[in-house]
Amino acid sequence: MADLPVVAVITAKAGSEQQVQQALTALVEPTRSEPGCISYELLVSAADPATFITVETWRSQADLDAHLQTEHVQGALTAAGEHLAQAPAIHPLNTVSGR
């Protein structure tokens, strides 16, 4: 089975960028240590500093599902909750073009 690429888009409310960044930064190292995590990068949009993006690769959908239930993800969502403009948009991706 092929690896599962994922992009998540997290948008902070205006003025809450720092709080959201802190909550998301706390996810990076524990996530990288999870079984099934091949790669995990946290980025911020150069065009909109309220938009944070994770670029992830998981071994499988089951590994991604397990990640979303971890204590560190749930804790980050709680910490960032009132500072988010909307719910995070998580996009597992399928390849369209051949390599």
- The pLDDT, as a whole number, for residue 97 is 79
90 strand-pairing partners:
8
66 found inside a domain: yes
* DSSP per-residue string spanning 32-95: HTSTTEEEEEEEE-SS-TTEEEEEEEES-HHHHHHHHTSHHHHHHHHHHGGGBSS--EEEE---
What is the number of structural domains in the chain? 1
99 found inside a domain: no
Domain with 37 in it: 4-92
Q: Can you tell me whether residue 14 is helix, strand or coil? A: coil
Flag residues of the chain having pLDDT under 50.
none
- Domain of residue 51, CATH code: 3.30.70.100
Retrieve residue 91's tokens.
Answer: 């996009």
- The pLDDT, as a whole number, for residue 67 is 97
